């Protein structure tokens, strides 16, 4: 059975107090989502890793089962909204089989989304991307990591692909080439990319061309029109009150650059396995 949802009634990028830099219980997000008319709410807490890799932005690994259990309990409790259990991941090929087997094959999660939040080069390991210098090397590192992440085949959605705008300030040949690489990759693998509502509400930065958002980047999304890709609008909420409003901001951004947001389809097998796709 396939059920198709109107894009304005879906949010697949939601955090909570679990990650340590968000607030609110999962149940508070559900209440607001229902009050404000969402039909699908996907929880996508930052994925804790074995050995607690990338500890600055995620729950301790020991809490993962509790988080997953709570997501699933909430779905049993609330039959009038579809609640999906997911995680937002950073990718490293060392963990590929753990993502595949422990999270996906076991049906612990319904879906995984991925972005690039940390980079490693010859002198620093796992540094948050905002702290990288405004240079081409860092931009290339980001782009390669984003492409490797999408190419892993593990993820339903690439989130904030234009997050490089946090540290790379120009829209020049280099930014254009890297953006094209990311868009080409998403298009050829048929993985949707996300317009991120959280970025729309973050402080602006000063660049040579004046003040602009860190992300989403208007130039990136204008360029996306040259590619056949699905685009999704999410809130990336870290507070219950943002769960719908920031998604609406992302939809308004899409309208302002003339982009159409794809619909989420959820296919459920007789065995209860879930497959998410966009059309």
The span of 9-17, 99-107, 165-173, 240-248 binding Zn ion (CB under 5 A) equals 9-17
Q: Check: CB of residue 133 under 8 Å from CB of residue 167.
A: yes
Least Cβ distance, residue 1 to Zn ion (angstroms): 31
- Collapsing DSSP to helix, strand or coil, 99 comes out as helix
Least Cβ distance, residue 116 to Zn ion (angstroms): 9
Binding to Zn ion by CB under 5 A, coded x per residue (else -) over 74-113, reads ----------------------------------------
The span of 8-16, 102-110, 127-135, 169-177 binding Zn ion (CB under 5 A) equals 8-16
Give, to the nearest 10 degrees, the angle between helix 136-151 and helix 173-189.
Answer: 0
- Which residues inside 15-34 make contact with Zn ion, applying CB under 5 A? 15
Instruction: Name the residue with tokens 């980047």.
Output: 217
Helices and strands, counts by H and E, the chain:
8, 14
**Which C-beta is closer to Zn ion: that of 55 or that of 265?**
55
- Which residues inside 115-174 make contact with Zn ion, applying CB under 5 A? 115
Q: Is 21 exposed, middle or buried (0-12, 13-18, 19+ CB in 10 A)?
A: exposed
- Phi/psi zone of residue 51: left (φ > 0), alpha (ψ -120 to 50 degrees), beta? left
The span of 11-19, 34-42, 73-81, 203-211 binding Zn ion (CB under 5 A) equals 11-19
The span of 12-20, 26-34, 67-75, 180-188 binding Zn ion (CB under 5 A) equals 12-20
**Which C-beta is closer to Zn ion: that of 46 or that of 251?**
46
The span of 13-21, 59-67, 200-208, 263-271 binding Zn ion (CB under 5 A) equals 13-21
Reference 185, options 216, 132, 142; nearest CA is 142
Residue count, binding to Zn ion (CB under 5 A): 2
The residues, ordered by sequence, that sit 6+ positions from 40 with a Cβ below 8 Å of its Cβ are 5, 9, 10, 11, 12, 81, 82, 83, 84, 264, 266
Q: Check: CB of residue 213 under 8 Å from CB of residue 249.
A: no
Least Cβ distance, residue 226 to Zn ion (angstroms): 25
Task: Please state the φ and ψ torsions of residue 206, each to the nearest 5 degrees.
Answer: -95, 130
Least Cβ distance, residue 59 to Zn ion (angstroms): 11
Least Cβ distance, residue 45 to Zn ion (angstroms): 8
Kindly list the residues in this chain that would bind Zn ion in the complex (CB under 5 A): 15, 115
């Amino acid at each position: 059975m396939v059920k198709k949802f109107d894009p304005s009634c879906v949010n697949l990028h939601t955090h909570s107090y679990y990650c340590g830099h968000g607030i609110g219980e999962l149940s508070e997000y559900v209440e607001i989502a229902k009050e404000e008319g969402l039909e699908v709410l996907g929880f996508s807490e930052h994925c804790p890793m074995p050995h607690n890799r990338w500890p600055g932005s995620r729950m301790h690994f020991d809490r993962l089962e509790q988080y997953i259990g709570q997501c699933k309990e909430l779905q049993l409790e609330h039959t009038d909204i579809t609640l999906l259990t997911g995680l937002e991941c950073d990718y490293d090929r060392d963990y590929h089989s753990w993502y595949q087997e422990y999270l996906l094959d076991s049906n612990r999660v319904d879906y995984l989304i991925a972005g690039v939040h940390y980079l490693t080069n010859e002198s620093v390991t796992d540094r948050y991307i905002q702290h990288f210098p405004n240079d081409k090397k860092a931009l290339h590192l980001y782009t390669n990591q984003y492409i490797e992440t999408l190419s892993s085949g593990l993820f339903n959605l690439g989130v904030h692909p234009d997050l490089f705008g946090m540290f790379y300030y120009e829209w020049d040949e280099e930014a254009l080439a890297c953006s094209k690489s990311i868009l080409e990759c998403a298009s050829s693998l048929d993985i949707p990319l996300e317009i991120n509502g959280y970025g729309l509400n973050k402080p602006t930065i000063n660049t040579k061309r004046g003040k602009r958002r860190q992300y989403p980047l208007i130039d990136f999304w204008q360029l996306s029109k040259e590619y056949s890709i699905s685009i999704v609008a999410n809130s990336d909420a870290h507070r219950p009150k943002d769960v719908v409003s920031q998604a609406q901001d992302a939809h308004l951004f899409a309208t302002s650059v003339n982009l159409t947001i794809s619909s989420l389809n959820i296919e459920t097998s007789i065995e209860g396995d879930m497959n998410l796709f966009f059309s």
